[in-house]
Amino acid sequence: MRITWLGHGSFRIEIGGQTLLIDPWLTGNPMLAEDQHDAATKGASHILLTHAHFDHVADVLRLAKRDGVTVVGQYDLLSHWESAENIEVIGFNKGGTVALGDVAVTMVHAVHSSSFGTDAGPSVPGTECGYMITGEGHTIYVSGDTDVMADMGVFNALHQPDIGILCAGGHFTMDMRRAAYAAKTFFDFKTVIPCHYRTFPILEQSAAALIDALPGVDVIEPEVLQPIEL
């Protein structure tokens, strides 16, 4: 299994014969050079969308149309896109599980917001979410954009994720201290990968506080387009 950071909250996960793009933000992503875009998306089988903010959704429709990638996410928005944009989708909702080949994906709750701008003002297409991704003997918790929440205890009891991809940049999501609290209080991760940080000056620039707070956990500070093999 290979997990590759594309900067910010975007990832490429190769697992169980599938290549999953999580919230692929390419256009305008200051951490991903334009000449890296093709390598980031090559061979993608599915896009998993956690919510509709621009830094998560900006390239979804373009990639779905250009490359024929199936978009996986909340039913409300995806059923509209299926008819209006003529793309392949798998729409479901929180608590539901879908099979992507040999990979099981369960949608779980998150605490954030979800909208994008229109000429008439903000549109709110569904709500924010995270995912449990199970394959190759691992379960990955992709938090999406969220704060700490007691629901995480339920997630761990039901799924026992060994890998956590946690937003940790602060300001818009939980910061390193709060992400560490979530990991210690609710989960038993073997590996933690922080994200949604370093992109802008307003966000945290280092995962040192997360590393220091989680002795015994392999906290990996990812580098863009450098695969993490687990």
Q: What is the pLDDT of residue 126?
A: 77
How close are the terminal C-alpha atoms of the chain, in Å? 6
pLDDT of the residue at 53: 85
Q: Positive or negative, the Cα torsion across 212, 213, 216, 222?
A: negative
Q: What does the radius of gyration of the chain's CA atoms come to, in whole angstroms?
A: 16
pLDDT score of 121: 75
- The tens place of each residue's pLDDT in the chain, 230 residues long, gives 999 999 999 999 999 999 999 999 999 999 999 999 999 999 999 999 998 888 888 899 999 999 999 999 999 999 999 999 999 999 999 999 999 999 999 999 999 878 777 777 777 677 899 999 999 999 999 999 999 999 999 999 999 999 999 999 999 999 999 999 999 999 999 999 999 999 999 999 999 999 999 999 999 999 999 999 99
State the pLDDT at residue 38.
96
Q: What is the pLDDT of residue 195?
A: 98
| Cα–Cα distance for residue pair 104/80, rounded to 1 Å | 24
The pTM of this model reads 0.96
Kindly give, in sequence order, each residue whose CB lies less than 8 Å from that of residue 219, ignoring residues fewer than 6 positions away: 191, 192, 193, 194, 207, 210, 211
Q: How far is CA 169 from CA 196, 200, 202, in A?
A: 5, 9, 9
CA atoms within 13 A on the CB side of 24: 30
Contact predicate 98/122, CB 8 Å? no
Task: Please give the pLDDT value at position 119.
Answer: 75
Q: State residue 124's pLDDT score.
A: 66
DSSP, collapsed to helix, strand or coil, labels residue 35 as: helix
Q: 56: burial class by Cβ within 10 Å (0-12, 13-18, 19+)?
A: buried
Residue 194, classified by CB atoms within 10 Å of its CB into exposed (0-12), middle (13-18) or buried (19+), is: buried
